[in-house]
Amino acid sequence: DGGITQSPKYLFRKEGQNVTLSCEQNLNHDAMYWYRQDPGQGLRLIYYSQIVNDFQKGDIAEGYSVSREKKESFPLTVTSAQKNPTAFYLCASSAGTGGNQPQHFGDGTRLSIL
């Protein structure tokens, strides 16, 4: 079954620790995205990647890092520099970046601070 898989569903971070959120897609999509969602807010773009081995910062990239070594994978690392990491993190993908290629989302990872 095609889709976007995020893991883990829940993640806890200790102070000063880096944590990595996984996102895998088997839709053969070129573009992948990471968003952060806070309660009562819309989604804000952290990073995006239009193609393998390339990625760009979104609106709130500080304290986060990504890699895109494979087409199907786009992991997000929340570093210790991100002082307010508690949020719901959503990964998305699209066939391309054109206007008629909408983004589809995974089921999210909820990150909390211990």
Partner 1 sequence: GQQLNQSPQSMFIQEGEDVSMNCTSSSIFNTWLWYKQDPGEGPVLLIALYKAGELTSNGRLTAQFGITRKDSFLNISASIPSDVGIYFCAGQKGGAGSYQLTFGKGTKLSVIP
Comparing CA positions, the residue from 83, 94, 17, 89 lying closest to residue 49 is: 94
Binding status of residue 100 toward partner 1 by CB under 8 A? yes
Q: Which conformational region is residue 111 in: left (phi greater than 0), alpha (psi within -120 to 50 degrees), or beta?
A: beta
Give the residue, chosen from 25, 82, 93, 94, that forms a contact with partner 1 under the rule CB under 8 A: 94
Structure tokens that stand for 61 in this block: 């990239």
- Among residues 45 and 77, whose Cβ is nearest to partner 1? 45
| Secondary structure letter of residue 81 according to DSSP | T
| Secondary structure letter of residue 72 according to DSSP | T
Structure tokens that stand for 1 in this block: 């079954």
Binding status of residue 71 toward partner 1 by CB under 8 A? no
Give the residue, chosen from 1, 6, 47, 57, that forms a contact with partner 1 under the rule CB under 8 A: 6
Binding status of residue 62 toward partner 1 by CB under 8 A? no
Binding residues vs partner 1 (CB under 8 A): 4, 6, 31, 33, 40-45, 48, 50, 58-59, 90, 92, 94, 97-100, 102-108, 110
